[in-house]
Homo-oligomer: A and B are copies of this chain.
């Protein structure tokens, strides 16, 4: 095999970055070589932002981008939109809400539709994040709607996971899924000017203290850029906590990729055809057939 080309993108070469992402997202020819050739020059923190719809995640992301770029950092945002592939309006909506930075040369924003896997990470999120990690950005923000499985995935992908919540009635604090406790590196109570916000935040702190020692609870009003500094300081602070979830997520991903590639030459259509002719003589042995297929595949490897 020829030595693969090295793909390294400058942050100002956004068209190349965008093209690489499209290539990887759609698994176009060359995507595999591109991914294998990615060079990671330094640790690029990946910040996961997750939480229920309407929690103000996009507004908060907007604030974080401002904070990063004010310090001269370059930021990439991957916004994962759980709406149906047909609902491009909402995708556009996300972009519009983050539009403050739409023409900022230090900010790259990309939306991914999740194509049906409701709220989950897109099948290509890890790959796309890796492209961004190799593209000269200082911070990468991955924003997802916190629904079910996606939260666990985002926690594996991100170096720090921020769970954004909005104040609800004090009693409803119980309704916070205990799973969130497992994945949150910090809680952010947004829309903290709402009635009951202090009670909500205090109850959350109590819950955290009861179960874990070390998850800070921040209060923000993202729409007014209020409380953002503390969140940013938390992001900048060196974390001594090792993220074990990362190796589990990557092992899962590696397993899936290995499986995909090991099965790439197996075609169900051909199997059906071959089985159909096999069955015709009434002596067809499925397990012998499988063995023959394996021998054929091994020859192709």
Contacts and interface: CB of A to CB of B under 8 A. Distances in A.
Contacts of A290: 254, 257-258, 261
Interface stretch (A84-92, A105-113, A230-238, A292-300): A292-300
Of A36, A254, A255, A266, chain B has the most CB atoms within 10 Å of the CB of A254
Contacts of A127: 287
A125 to B, nearest CB: 13
Contact of A282 (B40, B259, B291): B40
Main secondary structure of the interface of A (DSSP, over half): helix
A289 interface: yes
Contacts of A250: 275, 279, 286
Interface in A255-294: 255, 257-259, 261-263, 266, 268, 271-272, 275-276, 279, 282-291, 293-294
Contact of A268 (B251, B282, B288): B251
Interface string A65-84: 00000000000000000000
Interface residues of A, number: 48
Of A42, A253, A285, A289, chain B has the most CB atoms within 10 Å of the CB of A285
Interface string A219-255: 0000000000000000000000000001110111111
A275 B297 contact: no
Nearest to A257: B290
Given A247-B276, A263-B262, A255 B282 contact: no
Contact of A130 (B251, B262, B282, B286): B286
When all copies of this chain in the complex are counted, the total is 2
A301 interface: yes
A293 B258 contact: yes
A294 B264 CA distance: 12
A98 interface: no
Contact of A286 (B126, B287, B293): B126
Contacts of A130: 285-287
A182 interface: no
Nearest to A283: B40
Contacts of A291: 36
A42 to B, nearest CB: 7
Given A40-B284, A40-B285, A255-B268, 12 more contacts: A36-B288, A38-B285, A38-B287, A248-B272, A250-B279, A254-B289, A255-B271, A257-B290, A259-B259, A262-B297, A297-B301, A301-B301
